[in-house]
Chains A and B, each alone.
Chain A
Amino acid sequence: MKALKQFNWRLTFILDILAIIMLVSGGTNLFFAVVLTEGALWMVRLLWLSPAMLSYILRRLAQMVPIVLAVLALGFALIQLAPGDMFSQMELDPAISRDQLEMFRRQFRLDQPWYAQFFQYIWNALQGDFGFSRTYRAPVFAIVGQRAWNTILLSLTSLVFAWVLSIPMGVFAATNQYNWKDQFVSIFAFFGLAIPNFFLAFLLLYLISSTGNWLPLGGMTSVGFRNMTATQQFFDVLRHMIVPVVVIGTSVMATLTRVMRGEMLKIMNEQYVTTARAKGQTENKVVYMHALRNAINPMITLLGFQLGNVMSGAALVEIVVAWPGLGSVLLEAVLSQDLYLVVGSLVYGVVLLVIGNLLADIALALVDPRVRIS
């Protein structure tokens, strides 16, 4: 135990880096393996560093269960309320006999009373099986799984993009309060807030297409994607991501910049900032070390909410730039009344959101000693 204590736990981050390398080189196939490894790794770290936090996380995960169940119930109610079932359309198809349909229905237990169906639905859903998509003629899980990963990739990249830009912009605006530099950043932020995402996406696409198509206009991969090397694939996806990331990122950045500016202004008035100056510290260190470190905390709390924003924002943009994510699937599914697919996508979205919030809370705990040590 003592050897454990002396060991610098930060060294375990090497394992995380390895995991990310695996993910990048191995591609999406290894995604779930990597997620599981990371999850296990953090559990061990927490057990070791802060058992209280581990129990907190487990409790939070347990609290997720009723939320997910409620979403499932809602989804199920939607399906039940809609007239007919997923085989109703096939009844018009003369090629399919009534016996065959009955067989299908028995297979999917549609002949049973609603409560039996509900428990069956939950049981299946818990195993990741959200039913069968009529339009794709494939299990919902198979469709949504890949799409969800694409959406996560897009959302997280947008968030990182927004964060990396909004923090320095917020600090810049705060330290130049009320002069033209601050005004400029504010105007930029309000522009980002005001302009609708899809419109900005169209605008960018128009600009790119009218200046010589120097960026791909849609999709996630180029035509010859399968024949590329891993590095080429990586950069290909990256090129495709630029437009949607800029579009989604801009709207998030606007909010974050305003929040960051406000927080910085508040913190710069705190007594400990004056203390730092009274020590003879340079202004740069006062701003970037003493003030910024404190202003970041509320931003991390926001991260959880932003994830929801970003994902719903992504849904629209995905449709415009033909990004194969949850958003475009959801739209298609709604248009074609493919209810199992709709519910499946919704549940995926909700689960991701809840986990995102939890991760933000944990991150806050890690950076704030007041939360970490108690």
Chain B
Amino acid sequence: MDNVLEVKDLATYFFMHDYIIRAVDGVDFTLGRGETLGIVGESGCGKSITSMSMMRLVPDPPGRIISGEISLKGRDILKISEDEMRKVRGNEISMIFQEPMTSLNPVFTIGFQISEVLRLHRDIGKQDAIKEAARLLRMVGMSDPEERVNEYPFQLSGGLRQRAMIAIAMACEPTVMIADEPTTALDVTIQAQILRLMRQLKETKDTSIAFITHDLAVIASFTDRVMVMYAGVAVETSTVHEIFKNPLHPYTQGLLGSVPVLGDRKVNADGSRKLLNAIPGSLPDARRFPRGCRFAPRCPKAMKKCWEAEPAKVEVAPGHQVRCFLHHDEVRVISKRDLGAAGKRVLKNQQKISGKKKGSADGSKTDTPIARN
């Protein structure tokens, strides 16, 4: 499978007044043609920021992509100009969002909002664009598309709005579609409809999809490969079968154990109520990640080593990468990152607050003391 998208060492930081949020801190993955990659994780793990970084839509300030490479069909889109990037957005990479209620502009008609993207990237007239919009609406399974183009978002139900969003995203037949929790806000029966539609479109158009969600069941039924994220880094990447049958990282294992499965027996053999295998504790503060492995404070199998150094992401079996010392001994080497003027400003504010007059011995060169406390 040839890769249409390759992401290497992507890091997106948010420079706040006196601290840095390392939302995405070194994420690597590839996306093959026609492949669906599930990006799974809990809120604050950096999955949405990863997708916004792929579109180069991280709000700046305070956010900034500080390192990495995102090559789309061999071209690094982090290096191209903003004008060129605009030609990529909506055309080669498109996006759908979680909230169908708020992701369409309430004051413009559906037809206008679909034709807008067509007119940006295709040489097409106003009337033809509206006709094309109607055709797209039919494609996403809407009845009476000729009338729907004149309707406003508030006249449509949640499911229909998400269909309209998909029509916008598919309008220019993009190479990659990023779906950021596209079914989370929908009811299960509507979710099933939308997933079926996306599956059909993916197969007919051969689109690659980056599917971001927290719902493991959706991941299982919809994706080919899975990347599990925790606290800004990818902890495990593998095929969907491997992830569910043979999860290696304790976090992945915990996540799978936390979800009640339909039809599960609720009583243990001795008659007591069965409990879920919940992961204790809560997500670490993105301002100060633990020094070693970021999952160590919650990990049932944490060793002394886990608190001291961060493991690297290593391929332990074909196509199965994991960031855990249980499976290898390699320590992660973080490439030196230039935090620029914003980083210096944060450091200065930090020193002002902590009352130090000069930069501490270890705080002047690297980024780590800023965020790692």
Contacts and interface: CB of A to CB of B under 8 A. Distances in A.
B91 to A, nearest CB: 6
Most buried by B among A270, A277, A278: A278
B91 A280 contact: yes
B155 to A, nearest CB: 7
A181 interface: no
Contact of B90 (A279, A367, A369, A373): A279
Given A275-B97, A278-B94, A279-B117, A368 B57 contact: no
Interface in A265-298: 270-272, 274-282, 290, 293-294
Given A278-B94, A293-B107, A370 B152 contact: yes
Contacts of A278: 55, 57, 89-90, 94-95
Contacts of A272: 102-106
A282 B119 CA distance: 12
Interface in B99-158: 99, 102-108, 116-117, 120-121, 152, 154-155
B116 A369 contact: no
A274 B103 CA distance: 8
Contacts of A368: 107
B155 A280 contact: no
Nearest to A294: B107
Interface string B43-56: 00000000000010
B105 A280 contact: no
Interface string A356-371: 0000000000011110
Given A279-B168, A368-B107, A370-B152, A271 B99 contact: yes
Nearest to B93: A278
Contacts of B88: 280
Interface string A246-274: 00000000000000000000000011101
A233 B95 CA distance: 59
Contacts, number: 71
B86 interface: yes
B105 A275 contact: yes
Nearest to B94: A278
Nearest to A277: B57
Contact of B106 (A279, A281, A282, A369): A369
A254 B87 CA distance: 39
A368 B95 CA distance: 27
A290 B104 CA distance: 10
B90 A271 contact: no
B97 A271 contact: yes
A304 to B, nearest CB: 20
A88 B108 CA distance: 65
A275 B103 contact: yes
B152 A369 contact: yes
B89 A290 contact: no
Contacts of B86: 280-282
B152 to A, nearest CB: 4
A13 B18 CA distance: 56
B82 to A, nearest CB: 8
A290 B106 contact: no
